[in-house]
Amino acid sequence: MPKVGMRDTRRQQLITATMESIAELGMQNTTIVSISRRAGLSSGIIGHYFGGKQGLIEAALRYLLEQLGKELKERIARTDGSPEQRLKCIVEANFSDFQQTEMAAKTWLSFWARSMHEPGLQRLQQINNARLYSNLRYAFAARLPPEAATAAARQTASMIDGFWLRSALSKDPAEGFAEAQTLCKRFALSTLNSGSH
C-alpha cells in the first residue's frame, strides 16, 4: 500500500521535472521520457497521474498559476489591505523570486507561445489574464470612477506582462525584473492617486 502523501510527492516531482525539461529543451522537445528521467520515475506513471504529456504540461501551468495566487494572498495578508498595498502586492507577486527563476520564466514563455494553438492552454491563459485584471480593477475601483478603474487595470496589466516579457528575454533578467517592478509600481500608484485630487 502506498505511503500517505506519496501520490502528491510524485505529482510534484513530475511537475517540477516538466518545468526543468521545458527550461532546458523547450516545450516542443520535452517528452515523457525526458520528464520521467528527470523525475527519476517510470514513464508509465505520467499516464497514470496525468493521462499523458499534455495533461502534465497543463498541470505544470496550473502550478505556476497557483504559485502566483498563493504569493499574492500571502503578501496581502501581511498588509493593511489598502488599495496602495494591494497594488504593490500584485506587482510584487508577478515579479516574485519564484516567477523570475529560469525554470518558471521559460515555462511561461513556452506556455504563451503554445496557448495560441492549444485550447487547453488558451483557457489557462485567459484565466490568468482575467485574474490579473480583476485583482487590479478591485484595487483601482476603491479610488477611481468605474471607467477610469477599468482603463487603469488594463494599462497596468499590460505593463506587468510587457515588462515581465522584456525582462525574461533580456541579457540580464535579474536587473530587468528589478527595474520592471519599480516602474510598474510607480505607474500603478500614480494612477491610483490621480483619482484623489
To the nearest 10°, the Cα dihedral for 167, 182, 137, 120? Answer: 20
d(CA 60, CA 108): 10
Q: From the centroid of its chain, how far is CA 106?
A: 11
- Dump pLDDT digits (tens) for 22-31: 999 998 899 9
- Dump pLDDT digits (tens) for 99-156: 999 999 999 999 888 888 989 899 999 999 999 999 999 999 999 999 999 999 999 9
| pLDDT surpassing 60 at residue 2 | no
The enclosing H or E element of 196 equals: none
**The whole model's pTM is what?**
0.89
Query: What is the domain range of residue 106?
Result: 62-196
Residue 131, helix vs strand vs coil = helix
- The alpha carbon dihedral of 69, 72, 75, 81 has a sign of negative
- Dump pLDDT digits (tens) for 45-90: 898 899 988 899 999 999 999 999 999 999 999 999 999 999 999 9
| pLDDT surpassing 80 at residue 1 | no
- Indicate the number of domains in the chain: 1
Q: Which residue is listed with cell 525526458?
A: 34
Count the Cβ atoms, other than its own, within 10 Å of residue 133.
16
Asked if the structure places residue 85 within a domain, the reply is yes
| pLDDT surpassing 90 at residue 5 | no
CATH number of the domain encompassing residue 93: 1.10.357.10
